[in-house]
Amino acid sequence: MKIAVLSDPHVGTEKPVFVANWGKVVAHVNDRDDIELVVVLGDLTLDGANLEADLAFGRTAVAALRAPVLVVPGNHDVGDIARDARQPANDQRLARWEQHFGSSHWHSDAIDGWRLLGLNSQILATGLPAEETQWAFLEQAAAACGERKLALFCHMPLFLQYWDEPDRPAWAIPSPARQRLRTLIETHAVRAVTTGHTHRILDLRDADDAAFIWAAASSFLSRDQSMPPQDGKELLGYTVVDLKSETVAAEFVAVEGLMQSYIEDYKGSIYRSPAKDA
C-alpha cells in the first residue's frame, strides 16, 4: 500500500534545468517493486501556466513512470491563488491543464481500504466557478467513502505552522478555504494530508495522529532566509507514503546523483521565488 509521491519536478522545454533530476527520480521509483501508485503533487512543469508546450512535455515525463499515476496541478502548472499575481489561475489555464491531464481534482479507490482525494489547491479562495464545483465534488467524495479511510493530496500546504496563522497566499492555502478544509478533515477523520510546494520535508502529527506530510521536491531547495517561518527540512528526492490498515507512515528518500541547487542561486534566471510575506 505504498505510494511514491513526486513533487515539484519543474520540468520544462525552454529551460530544462531540472529534467535530469526528474529522470533519476523516475528511475529510482521504477526500480522498486513495492510501489503501487504514484502521485505527482504539482509544479510538474516549469511554466505550464504560460507554455502549453511545458504541459505536453510534462505529460510525456509522467508517462515514463511504471506504476499508475495520479497528478494534481501546482501554481507553475495552472497559476497562482492571488488575483493580483503575475500568473493568476483562470479558466483558460485550467482548460489547458485538463486537455493534457484530465480533471484537476479526483478521487481514487486504488489502495485497499482507502479513498484518495486529489485537490486543486490553486483555485481555492479565488471565486472561480471551478472552485465551488471542486468543493461539491470533494465533500460528496468524502461523505460517500463508506468504511474507507481518507487521504488528501494537493500542491500547497494548508498552513506553514498552525491553522490560524496569517494568510500568505503564495505559500499556503488562505482562509477561509483553509478553515473549510479543516472542517472537512475533522468531520470525515481524514488520516493524511500530503502536500508539496515548500521544497521542504515534514511529518507533522496532530492530536488524533493525523499526518500532515510535506513531500520532497526533486528539482531544487530554498534557503532558510527566503522562507517564511516553518519547521521543514532540506532533502531532494521523493517521498513514500505507506497507507497501512491503521496508521500512516512517511519515508523521505534522498536520491543519489541529483543536482543540488537552491532557487536563490539562479538569481531570477529561472523565476523569482515569492517574498516571505507574499
Q: What is the pLDDT of residues 28-49, one digit of tens each?
A: 999 999 999 999 999 999 999 9
Q: Is residue 271 part of a domain?
A: no
Q: Is residue 277 part of a domain?
A: no
Q: Is residue 93 part of a domain?
A: yes
Q: Is residue 60 part of a domain?
A: yes
- The structural domain count of the chain equals 1
Q: Is residue 238 part of a domain?
A: yes
Q: What is the CATH number of the domain that holds 80?
A: 3.60.21.10
- CA-CA distance, 197 to 143, in Å (whole number)? 28
Average pLDDT over residues 155-163: 97
Taking the model in full, what pTM does it have? 0.97
Q: Is residue 275 part of a domain?
A: no
209: confidence class by pLDDT, cuts 50, 70, 90: confident
With a cut of 90, say whether residue 242 has pLDDT above it: yes
- CA-CA distance, 169 to 207, in Å (whole number)? 26
- Decide: helix, strand or coil at residue 233: strand
Residues in the chain: 278
Q: Is residue 24 part of a domain?
A: yes
Q: Is residue 276 part of a domain?
A: no
110 neighbors 63 (Cβ within 8 angstroms): no
Question: Is residue 176 reached through a cis peptide bond, with omega within 30 degrees of 0 on the bond before it?
Answer: yes
C-alpha cell at 94: 485550467
157: confidence class by pLDDT, cuts 50, 70, 90: very high
CA distances for 49 relative to 7, 12, 60, 265, 278, angstroms:
17, 11, 17, 23, 19
Look at the block and give the residue holding cell 507512515: 249
With a cut of 90, say whether residue 164 has pLDDT above it: yes
Q: Which domain holds residue 35?
A: 2-266
